[in-house]
Amino acid sequence: MISDLTVKVLNKEERKKIYKEHMKQDFPKNELRPLHMIETLIDKGNYYTYGVFQNESLVAYAYFWEEKEKEILLFDYFAVVAGLRSQGYGTEAMKVVLDICK
């Protein structure tokens, strides 16, 4: 049963770990921004990274890019951890992440 999902902003070390352990496998190389570019966008204040956790274990992650002048929020990356896919975590993770974006 999926319950007690929590969302938190990822710190630099968490982003680095997720990038190496998950994103490189979850997305084609030609669709994945380099990590240094993600960090630059974060430093500019228009990129946001969230982890979705259940009992301290990562179940999903979501990265957003914001175009403030046009009031656009782009869902840049979203994925459920490989071993948890097709079990409903994506639906539940999406709900809790979108609640934060409101």
Nearest CA among 26, 6, 28 for reference residue 18? 26
pLDDT tens column, 56-82: 999 999 999 988 787 888 999 999 999
pTM > 0.95: yes or no: no
pLDDT, position 26:
96
- Virtual CA dihedral for 76, 73, 92, 82, nearest 10 degrees? 10
